[in-house]
Amino acid sequence: MKKHVSRSRVAGRCRAPPSKSYTHRAILAAGYAEDATVEDPLVSADTRGTMRAVSAFGGKVDRSRLDIGTLRVEGFGGRPDVPVDVINCENSGTTTRLVTAAGALADGLTVLTGDDSLRSRPHGPLLDAIEDLGGRAESTRRNGQAPLVVGDALPGGTVSMPGDVSSQFITALLMAGAVTEEGIAIDLETELKSAPYVEITLEVLQAFGVDAEHTDSGFRVPGGQQYSPEDGSYSVPGDFSSISYLAAAGAVAADEGGEGVLVEGAHPSAQGDTAIVEILDRMGAEIDWDEDAGELRSAGGDLSGIEVDVADTPDLLPTIAAVGAVADGDTRIVNCEHVRLKETDRVTAMAEELGKLGAEVTEEQDTLTVHGGESDLVGAEVDGRGDHRIAMALAVAGLVAEGTTTISDAEHVDVSFPDFWTVFDDLGATVTNA
């Protein structure tokens, strides 16, 4: 599907979708429990994959009350059944990694696969860790990529692994480790990238009554625990990755002298992507965040390029790059090599697609520099690369490009922000179907 975005001004009140990261963890945590309710979950292509996995492990996911924002989960009580079929995670890397460790707990074997993009993404360090902990874990092609085979009743123990490939490996082991016999201690061999995502995991584990902790060398979760949220329910906070596109839209295209874009549901949490508030403020946007009310207002200003380190906030790279194409001077995004391992290589994707719109961009292995002062954006046909974050970031750039920007693969926003195009349109963006 293609969407046309024409140069336009935006203003108004909107609401952030629930957090995808929290929803994945909450659904799986509910699966590890006996019975739990997840309130205000994000229902998207990715999180539906985690729901299917919980069902495959013997749980039951009742979606009949989603009209009032409630997902009821009858869990598998800490010990997953052996699935009767292959688990297809489609394009969800988070599902794959979290479920890989869960599948390793079963007495038999679990097979996981996904689409072409997912089958190109690395899982080797997680597979090695499961093997070192006494489970079975292998790639059918012996390249660390899906299809994956895991199982043999992972007992737990202590493992050493790198922290600079994916924080989801640590999350997967912490969530599974709580129900093993021995628990799991993780010693990190390298600096942890995307560290706030592990903090999200610790926050969700605590809410489900599971103890886990930092250690001098990494993390540890004792075994023999039970997942049980207080009052049987867990509420998902708003998603700051998604908020970033709305706040960026206000920063680059708000009505002059108007109220800008006000985003509801922007409550503080462990999400690293709350950094978008500080980043846009540093770039010169008019930012006002009422944390108690959960309201974030973003309006235009004299935007200037800055340097941003995305080691802990990889999902913000597309948003920052889009805003950088509008700002004066250079926006330099550093420590971004791991952003190449997402649904697509997002560093190259943003460099090439912004280039089609007339942006001057310099791409290096670990750095992306957008030369906003040398850029003059003009509408063109750009490729969303089958990646929700690329499509939404290009929509932000399309608000200020002269003429009309046509974005392919626009339907992939369903992965994290299913109502994105409707919300964008409601804010005043000129959006039409191809």
The catalytic site residues sit at: 315
Positive or negative, the Cα torsion across 29, 34, 40, 41? Answer: positive
Those residues whose C-beta lies under 8 Å from the C-beta of residue 360, and which sit 6 or more positions away, are: 370, 371, 374, 375
Strand order in the sheet with 381-383: 381-383, 404-408, 3-6, 430-433
Q: Is 13 annotated to bind ligand? A: no
**Does 315 appear as a known binding residue?**
yes
20 is in an annotated binding site: yes
- Give me the torsion for CA of 291, 293, 295, 297, rounded to 10°: -80
Are 421 and 410 spatial neighbours (Cβ–Cβ below 8 Å)?
yes
CA 423 to CA 170: how far, in whole Å? 34
167 in a labelled binding site:
yes
21 known ligand binder? yes
Residue 342 marked as a ligand binder? yes
Binding site annotation covers 346?
A: yes
Q: Got the DSSP string for 88-146?
A: E-TT-HHHHHHHHHHHTTSSSEEEEE--TTGGGS--HHHHHHHHHTT-EEEETTSSS-S
Tell me how far apart the alpha carbons of residues 209 and 179 are, in angstroms, rounded to a whole number.
12
Q: Is 166 annotated as a binding residue?
A: yes
Backbone angles phi, psi at 264, to 5 degrees: -85, 160
CA dist 85 and 375 (Å) reads 51
Q: Which of 100, 94, 157, 93 minimizes the C-alpha distance to 126?
A: 100
Question: Any binding-site annotation on 340?
Answer: no
Q: What tokens were used for 295?
A: 């309201």
| Residue 206 marked in a binding site | no
- For 82, the 3-state DSSP assignment is coil
Residue type, 392: M
List, as one string, the DSSP characters of 166-210.
-HHHHHHHHHHHTTSSS-EEEEESSPPTTHHHHHHHHHHHHHTT-
> 402 forms bridges with which residues in the sheet?
378
Which tokens belong to 82?
Answer: 């052996």
Q: Which alpha helices (DSSP H) does 233-387 contain, by range?
A: 240-253, 275-283, 317-324, 346-356
| Residue set of the binding site for phosphoenolpyruvate | 20, 93, 121, 168, 346, 389
| Residue set of the binding site | 20-21, 25, 93, 121, 166-168, 194, 315, 342, 346, 389
| Residue set of the binding site for 3-phosphoshikimate | 20-21, 25, 166-168, 194, 315, 342
